[in-house]
Amino acid sequence: MFAILVRVTLSPQLDQPARTRSAPAASVAGGLALVVGVMLAAANLRPAVTSLAAVLSEVRDTLGVSAAWTSAVTAIPTLCFGLVGMLAPWFSRRYGARAVISGALVLITAGLALRVVDGPLVLVAGTFLACAAIAVCNVLIPVVVKDSFPAGKVGAVTGAYSAALSAGGAVAAAFTAPLEELVGGWRGAVGMWALLGVLALICWRLAGRGPAPSEAVVADSAPRRSLLRSPLAWAVTVFFGFQSLVAYTVMGWLPEILRDTAGVSATTAGQLLAIVMVLGVPVSMIVPPLAARARSQSAWAMSMALSGFVGFAGLLFAPATATGLWILLIGIGMGVFPLALTLITLRARTGQETARLSAMAQSLGYLIAAVGPFAVGILHGLTGGWTVPLTLVLVVLAAQIALGHVAGRPRYV
């Protein structure tokens, strides 16, 4: 199905070799269009998660599903990111990265629309479809950025990409619950985010008329020493996995936790999740460049994980006392994601080693992360409260602090 959509969305411009690129003025215009396309595509990579989280209680009550089913739904994104993302290099080599992203945007839009039309099985199927396509975009959008822009501009475009990704998740978290009241139910509020996918697809198709990337292979297949035997590679991988576990637990369960422990409304809980997501925008644009210039990144990695630890400890012991402070600290801790990507680059000597370490860290890391939302939901269902689930998150963050020290030290895999 994915291959068929890629063939349909493949435009003639994408088949042209690099020597047929347009004149400089047209290239500038095409580059600007591509930046807009990248940002809109990135904005679609989190609403599938945060929009559902904002109204999870209403979804569960309406569909009459169990705690186990709810936990499984919150684990789908990270499972897809770990398993389906591994197929992205093959799709890129077969059809080209831009064409594959076009097909992925179609599937994201279809999945978001499909999952609100029927019962529990359809919601699971639509969520899986959207998240599988998001997994492909996670891998390939940075590749298009790297191949389409001069080295001096890659950092700025990557910053815009990261900011749009966080902003998309924040907007969906903040506005899904209010939209529910306006449109008369959670189905319309959740399904409306498919319109963002339509907009992104249109702009991405227009951006296809700009300068074409080299479609470089994103995974190196040459035989080399397995990174599975490298303790440092495992430290980076598990660090990436644990920060993703915390992040997707936040995106999947934080509104529910806040409603139950702090006594806030669904709208306020969604807005607080949005604040957490928005905080990732400035953090992701400021911290990685500063950390990269330092000889060691251990202090950065450890301090950001510690911020999240204190925030979750506050939710556990005094959720209603200083809720805003706990949200602020958790949001700062969530900004560790771009730092984790930076560590992947800094712990490898060459581009090929970076690609291999990235594949290991993201694939295995997201599989590790999938345990978090599922385990938190199961523990909440078994205990009827949030003490045990929040304690689990604190244990993971404590381990993340220790791993940050190891992964941040100036060495190579």
pLDDT category of residue 127 using cuts at 50, 70 and 90: very high
Q: Report the distance separating Cα 243 and Cα 365, nearest Å.
A: 9
Choice between 215 and 278, residue whose per-residue pLDDT is larger: 278
Which tens digit of pLDDT belongs to each residue from 185-196? 999 999 999 999
**Residue 216 scores a pLDDT above 60:** no
Give the pLDDT of residue 23.
43
Q: Are 141 and 41 in contact (CB under 8 A)?
A: yes
Q: Report the distance separating Cα 321 and Cα 325, nearest Å.
A: 9
Give the pLDDT of residue 117.
92
Virtual torsion, Cα 100, 352, 155, 35, nearest 10 deg: -10
Q: Report the distance separating Cα 349 and Cα 46, nearest Å.
A: 31
Q: Are 111 and 130 in contact (CB under 8 A)?
A: yes
Q: Are 53 and 251 in contact (CB under 8 A)?
A: yes
Domains and CATH numbers, the chain: 28-210 (1.20.1250.20), 228-413 (1.20.1250.20)
Q: Report the distance separating Cα 216 and Cα 140, nearest Å.
A: 11
* CA pseudo-torsion sign 289, 292, 296, 297: positive
If DSSP codes are grouped into helix, strand and coil, which group holds residue 148? helix
Q: Are 54 and 270 in contact (CB under 8 A)?
A: yes
**Residue 313 scores a pLDDT above 70:** yes
Choice between 361 and 284, residue whose per-residue pLDDT is larger: 361
pTM score, two decimals? 0.73
Distance between terminal CA atoms of the chain?
Answer: 38
Give the pLDDT of residue 55.
87
* CA pseudo-torsion sign 234, 235, 240, 243: positive
Give the pLDDT of residue 202.
92
**Residue 220 scores a pLDDT above 90:** no
**Residue 10 scores a pLDDT above 50:** no
Q: Of 78, 35, 95, 103, give the one whose Cα is nearest residue 244.
A: 78
Residues 6+ apart with CB under 8 A from 84: 131, 132, 135, 136
Give the Cβ contact number of residue 349 at 10 Å.
Answer: 9
Choice between 251 and 145, residue whose per-residue pLDDT is larger: 251
pLDDT category of residue 247 using cuts at 50, 70 and 90: very high
